[in-house]
Each structure stands twice: as C-alpha cells, then as structure tokens.
Chains A and B, each alone.
Chain A
Amino acid sequence: MDLDIITSILTRTVVAGTPLLLGTLGEVVSERSGILNLGVEGMMSFGAATGFIVTFTTGNPWLGMLAAIVAGALISVIHAFVTVSLRANQVVSGLALTMLGIGLSGLWGKPYIGRPLIVKMNAIAIPYLSDIPILGKVLFYQDAYFYLSVVLGIFVWFLLKHTKIGITVRSVGENPKAAETMGINVSMVKYLCVMVGGAFAGMAGAHLSTAYSKSWIEGMTSGRGWIVIALTIFALWEPSKAFIGAYVFGGIFVLQYVLQPLGISPNLLAMLPYLTTLGVLLFYGLSKGGQRKMSAPATLGEPYIRGSR
C-alpha cells in the first residue's frame, strides 16, 4: 500500500480520535467521582456551537476553544446541581441536558450555517519531529487540540494516580462515607468533577467545529457523545486506556471510508463503531463480568445523602 495512504489513514484516525479522547477524559473524571453524566452529547454540541460562534466573531480560534470550555463547564452546572444537591435521577437529568445542549446549539448556531470560518484551528508542525516519515506527519503535524488532548490526558492520568487530589476524587466515587469521615466535602468534589467533565466535552465539541471542519451544521456531533460514554466503560475508567479506546474508535470511524471501495454498503460500515461498542461490552460481560463491575466506581449513579450511616 502507498505510504501516503497509510499516513493519511493514520492522520485521520488521530483527528477522529481527538474529540473522543477529550470527551472520554472528562467523563472519566466525572464518573470517578460517582456522577454519571449522560449529557455529553448535548454539552459537546453546545461547545461546538459556542466555539464556532466565538471563533467566527473574533477571528481567533483559541478564544473559541476557551469559550467552548467555559460553555461546557457552565451548562454542566445544571446537571451537577440537579444530581448532587437535589439528588435527582442521574439518567434523566443527563438526558435532559443532552436535549437542552443540542437545542441551544441549534438555536445559537442557526445564523451561522453555511458560513465557513476564515480562520480555523490549523495544523501546527512541530519542527524536526514532523519530518519523520509517516509518524512525523501523523503525530507532529496536527492541530492544537490534538497536542492539548495528549498533554491533558497525561495530566489527568497523573493527577488521578499520583496526587492527593486523585485519591480524594476516587475515594468520593468509591466510598463517600469514608471520605466524609476524613473531613472531605463530598458535594464540592462532585460538583467540580462534573464541571471538569463539561469543560472537556465543550472542548471536544469545539474541535469538531473549528479544527476538524470549518463550518457549523446541526447534528455535528452525530452520536460521538454517546460513544464517549461507552468508551468510558471500555477504558475501565482509566485515562491511560482512554487513549487506546479513543484512537481505536477513531480508526473505526475512518475505517468506514477505507472499506467503502471494497463494495460493502457504507451504511453497514457506519454501524461499525456502535457494533464494536456493544461487542466490547458483551465481551466484558461474558468473560470477566464480575471484574468489570469491580472496575466501575462503586457509587456511580447513586445519589449521596450527607451524614447517612
């Protein structure tokens, strides 16, 4: 096979995987603290619209990224309030936020449909490294979102595993009672984690609208938010595995187009990411059903009532 084609496939895989990685990192943080956030699809959408609009208006894609991060964090406060303070059903709240996020993004974004960005987040070449054949183009000639996602991924991994904050967050999700007896403000930790999740989702969305493409259309996220939720499970709630999951699924997205010339219906190919998700979950369920359950944060999805014993 042509080297260029390989390079192109790998590059596109990385690009496709970047928003998935960002989204998954955020969801991992949120779920590790015990809060299930099903609103990722909506928050991504909202981030995509916000990122686009700000980039369009200011001509600065970095501002767009920042705005999207803030937007994602802000909208997630609703979810945090409803699930942490009001202890409401996390599934329904997440779904409501998905609808809200998608609706708001469509509303804000309408006037911008069909008006592509002049300035978008372009690829940045890292000197010397980007000259390495194949890998150089794939890994070192990408846009800022990719570099940031890798850095953030390592950062989140390190934070969760090797710092006090990491222990706090993880303990809140596993045994909030124990954390409370050690003097930790469980509610505040959960709020912050949900907001981090929202911020990441917003950033992922902005990647879609300002780096991956330069236009805004409705339904840009096309289910990536849901895949992120599945990826979180696939990654067994570990940032390190999130990398693998994100790029594997990015690859599957790209694979659809690669396999098309073979004559397989593009629609059947489009099912691949979702079938794979189910397949992976089934595999976990069959082989180490118990172990997978052991990996999920123990109180994921359960409301925590302060002072209960």
Chain B
Amino acid sequence: MKRIEKLEMQGITKSFVGVKANQDVNLTIEKGDILGLLGENGAGKTTLMNVLYGLYHPDKGKVLVNGEQLHLRNPKDSMKVGIGMIHQHFMLVQKHTVLENIALGYDEAPFFFPQRYMRNRIEEYSRKFGLEVDPDKKIWELSAGEQQRVEILKALLRNADLLIMDEPTSVLTPQEAEDLFDILRKMINDGHSVILISHKLEEIMSICNRVMVMRKGKVTGSAIIKDVTKVDLARMMIGRELSNSLEKSEIEPGDPILEISDLSVDSDQGLPIVRNLSYTICGSEIFGIAGVSGNGQREMVESITGLRKSVTGSVRLQGDDITNKSARFIHNNGINHVPEERIKFGTVANLQLFENSVLKKHHTTPFSKRMLMNYPVIREHANSLVEKYNVDAASINTPVKNLSGGNMQKLILGREISAEPSLLIAAHPTYGLDVGAAEYIRKELINCRDRGGAVLLVSEDLEELFQVCDRIAVMFEGHIMGIVEPGNCDIEDVGMMMAGSAVEKKQGENL
C-alpha cells in the first residue's frame, strides 16, 4: 500500500438543486499535515469531503493522489486509495461490540469467529497510536471519545492513510478532545495526514499546522497556522459584506416578556448542553442568538417551548413561571414557535394546507367549537395567511408536502405570527430558502416586533442577525459568550465568540 505523499483537489465544483455547495475549490495536503478546514455550517466543507470520500461526484474538477488522477465512484474506491472518513454522526451499531463493528464488511476477516482475528489487529493499532478501547464492550457503553476511537480504528484497519474528521470534538469533553489530539499527533508522526473539519478557532490553532477557510462554497483563505492570528481567521470565516438593506425603525423596547434565569438543560445523551443561561427579552425587541448549530440552541428553545425538561433554572413569561410546563400550556399562553426542522415538527406533510394552517391552535375557537372543526373559518384563515404571507401554492387544498421549502416556511411563520404571540421564537427560519423568501420572512419578523411583540431569533446567518436584531447573544458550548448590539460592535469579535474565544466586553453589555 503506497502512502499518500500528496493529495490535491483541483477546481472542485458541486451544486445541488439551486445551491452551489462548492465553487472551484482547490485543496492541497501533504504527508504529515494536519489541515484544518474552517467555516460555518453551510460553507461547503462537508460537501467537499464527501467528494473526497466518494460519496458525491463533483460536477467539475479532479482529485489527484501523488500526481495521479483518481475516479472515486464510491467509498470503497476512496478506501482503496487510503482515504478514510470519520463522520460527525458515528456510523456504529449501538448494540454490537467494538469488535463486531470493526469487523462489519471487513473482507480480510475470516468467516468463522471473525472477532478473534479482529482482536489481534485492533491491538496492534491500539498500542501504536494510543487508541485504547475495550474490544468487548458494546458501543452504547462507551463514551463519545471511545466511540470515536472505534471509528478511527475502523478507518485505520481499512488502510486509511489520510483521515478526514468531520467536527470530531463536537461530542467530546475538553479532556477527551486533548486525548484525541494526542492520538492525531502520534499518527502524524507515523506518516499519516489528517483533514480536520471544524468551526472552532481554538482547536484549529492548537492542533493544525495548516488551515483553509471556506465561506458559502468558496475558499476565502488558506494559511500556515504559525503565520496567522485568530482574528485573521475569524475575518476569513465571516467575511465583511454585511448589507443593511432592511429598513428598521428605532423603537424603545417595552416591558420584559421573557426572563431566562440560570437555565441548564441536558442533551439526549444526558450531558449538559445548556449551562446556566440567563438573559431577558423585552417587548418590541428582536433578540438574536448567534452561534454555530450544536452549541445548545436547539435544546434551549425546546426547554422554553415545553418540549424538553430543564435541569435547573427558570423561564418566566411576563412574570409567570412557565418552567417545564407542557407544550400546549405554553403556546396557549402566548409563545409561538417556528421550529428548526420545519417539515419534521412544524407540519403534517400529508395533510392539506388549510389543515396545517391551524396546527397547534386547532382546539381553540374560532377554529373549533366544542367537538367540531369549523372548516369555513379555518379555510378563511388559510386564505388570509396565503395572501398575507405570499405562500405560493396551487390552492389551500394542496397537501403541504407539495409546497417548496420556502413556501412551507412562510406558511408556518404566518401561522405562528398571526396568532399574535407575546413571544415569537424563530429557529433558523430562513435556512435553505431562496433570497426572496428569506427577505420576506425577515421583514415579517420586524413587523412583529414593530407591533410590540418580542422575538427570539436563533440563526447561524450573521448577516441576517445583524440586519434584523436589536441585540445579539452569542452561544458557544452552552454558554453565552457575550451580548452585543449590531450597531456598535466588531464583526470579528462576534466571529471569535462564535468560535469559542471570549472577547473583552467593550460595550459593557449586560443581561
């Protein structure tokens, strides 16, 4: 097996329906490199790596290993050449042992008692790189760090020379992350190379020797780590073009509507993911939560809307304690929510548009009277939503699954806003939408605020947050790194906070 001395991706271009995921991307990595691939979600990093791993075929461009062009039709081709990938979400069978997971589909393992054979090979690599893991344990018994080691072993045993790691520390504790970096260093010394996808500046600065920054499908910069500062990288990651095309009038914020106090929430795995959060949102104010997805935003929103229990802390709505109350109670009391995964949670795909237009409020008048649904009123409501929010649909009888993403989102947003809530929570409302639809939604959020409502906007799109919000809090690993006003703060500071670096509080923003 020849080692990979040099791998090049040249001119890689890949589009999905309407979205240019990768535009003319060039990447070079040499033996012994740990190359960081930095960028926000949606920058195109994972797409690029999926091309390298044979999961996607590029529209244009080529991949060369040691000067020879490759045709990577599927992961097996990539594995043959020595490319291995560790996905962000592990591809492991929870109920099986480590041995069984590594043996899955492993050609060289014998038919009978494959576990015995695997044990020896695993021991080899374990010792070599410090990948300590008990081969007989079941995956669900392992910590995230140990599970990751299993994935690394899987790749190494299939002759991975270049290892692609997609956001590897997103599930690790700081200690486990350190252990991982030790392992990576050992591998590098042995002649392997690593591409590390991450949005965390600290991490990239500490373990990588080179870095490439991507934004919206293009490469915005590449450098050798010792020659750059965090600020440089933040700037490359965020970019400078922030237009302010939306008209927004100055309004005095009203009374406090939502008070979050010392809120802590656990993730599905039982680990703390929101840590002692505190902030207040007032009426006539759009409060933004910036930060890369996965830093606790989803869980925070779920605990406010009654879909998840919080561990400590309290949530007060206009003075009343609504901590851990049921979802129905909370939205009966004036909090409406445009969910992150709109198709999954916000709509019933097979039901018709007008039926979806009253989801959540279907049990209230005027939409239903005692036991009966008042369909004439519901249809009227649906029609007015469609008109007001510009939902492009064949009719209000169309099943919602036939609507485009943008129109589905407009419908959901319209449904939630029209209920005139005290607090509107919008999670990534414009994700995946075209420019026109996105603009429309942002305008509606501003309208809601102008009418006196409080808005909590969770978004990864800094541009959007800067356009729309009155104040922005940056979340990283469950904490609020700082709260800023769009009018008077530095973009780079926000970028740094998003990537985990605490910033000197210049504006003296408090809760």
Contacting pair B114 A178 (CB below 8 A): no
* Interface hit among B99-107, B225-233, B281-289, B343-351: B99-107
Summarize A's interface: helix, strand, loop or mixed.
helix
Contacting pair A184 B111 (CB below 8 A): no
Contacting pair B92 A298 (CB below 8 A): no
B459 to chain A, nearest CB (A): 24
Answer yes or no: B16 CB below 8 A from chain A CBs: no
Q: Identify which of residues 131-172 in chain A touch chain B, using a CB-to-CB cut-off of 8 Å.
A: 162-165, 167-168, 170-171
Chain B residues near A218 (CB-CB < 8 A): none
Chain B residues near A264 (CB-CB < 8 A): none
Contacting pair A181 B91 (CB below 8 A): yes
Contacting pair A184 B105 (CB below 8 A): yes
Instruction: Select B105's contact among A163, A179, A298, beta carbons within 8 Å.
Output: A179
Contacting pair A174 B104 (CB below 8 A): no
Chain A residues near B95 (CB-CB < 8 A): 174, 294, 298
Contacting pair A162 B94 (CB below 8 A): no
Interface 1/0 per residue, A238-260 and B, CB below 8 Å: 00000000000000000000000
Question: How many A residues face the partner with a CB closer than 8 A?
Answer: 19
Chain B residues near A177 (CB-CB < 8 A): 91
A31 to chain B, nearest CB (A): 14
Answer yes or no: A182 CB below 8 A from chain B CBs: yes
For B50, the closest partner residue in chain A by CB is A309
Given A163-B112, A181-B75, verify A174-B93 contact (CB < 8 Å).
yes
A174 to B92, CA, bound (A): 9
Chain A residues near B96 (CB-CB < 8 A): 167, 170-171, 174
Q: Identify which of residues 266-298 in chain A touch chain B, using a CB-to-CB cut-off of 8 Å.
A: 294, 298
Which bucket holds chain B's interface residue count? 20 to 34
Contacting pair A182 B105 (CB below 8 A): yes
B165 to chain A, nearest CB (A): 15
A163 to chain B, nearest CB (A): 6
Chain A residues near B109 (CB-CB < 8 A): 164
A175 to B89, CA, bound (A): 12
Chain A residues near B76 (CB-CB < 8 A): 183
Residue among A164, A170, A177, A183 with max Cβ neighbours from chain B (10 Å)? A164
Given A164-B114, A181-B75, verify A171-B104 contact (CB < 8 Å).
yes
For B85, the closest partner residue in chain A by CB is A181
Chain B residues near A294 (CB-CB < 8 A): 95
A294 to B96, CA, bound (A): 12
Residue among B92, B104, B106, B111 with max Cβ neighbours from chain A (10 Å)? B104
Chain B residues near A162 (CB-CB < 8 A): 112-113, 115
A308 to chain B, nearest CB (A): 12
Contacting pair B100 A167 (CB below 8 A): yes
A165 to B109, CA, bound (A): 11
A175 to B105, CA, bound (A): 13
A183 to B80, CA, bound (A): 12
Instruction: Select B114's contact among A163, A179, A298, beta carbons within 8 Å.
Output: A163
Instruction: Select A167's contact among B92, B110, B114, beta carbons within 8 Å.
Output: B114
Contacting pair B93 A170 (CB below 8 A): yes
Contacting pair B94 A165 (CB below 8 A): no
Chain A residues near B106 (CB-CB < 8 A): 164, 182
B-to-A contact residues, CB < 8 Å: 74-76, 91-96, 100-101, 103-106, 109-115
20 extra interchain contacts, Cβ-Cβ under 8 A, other than A164-B106, A170-B100, A175-B93? A163-B113, A163-B114, A164-B103, A164-B111, A164-B114, A167-B104, A168-B105, A170-B93, A170-B96, A171-B93, A174-B93, A174-B94, A175-B91, A178-B91, A179-B105, A181-B75, A182-B104, A183-B75, A184-B104, A298-B94
A-B contact pairs, 15 of them (CB 8 A): A163-B113, A163-B114, A165-B111, A167-B96, A171-B93, A171-B96, A175-B91, A175-B94, A181-B91, A182-B91, A182-B104, A182-B106, A183-B75, A184-B105, A294-B95
A-to-B contact residues, CB < 8 Å: 162-165, 167-168, 170-171, 174-175, 177-179, 181-184, 294, 298
Ranked 3 nearest A-B pairs via Cβ: A182-B105, A178-B91, A174-B93
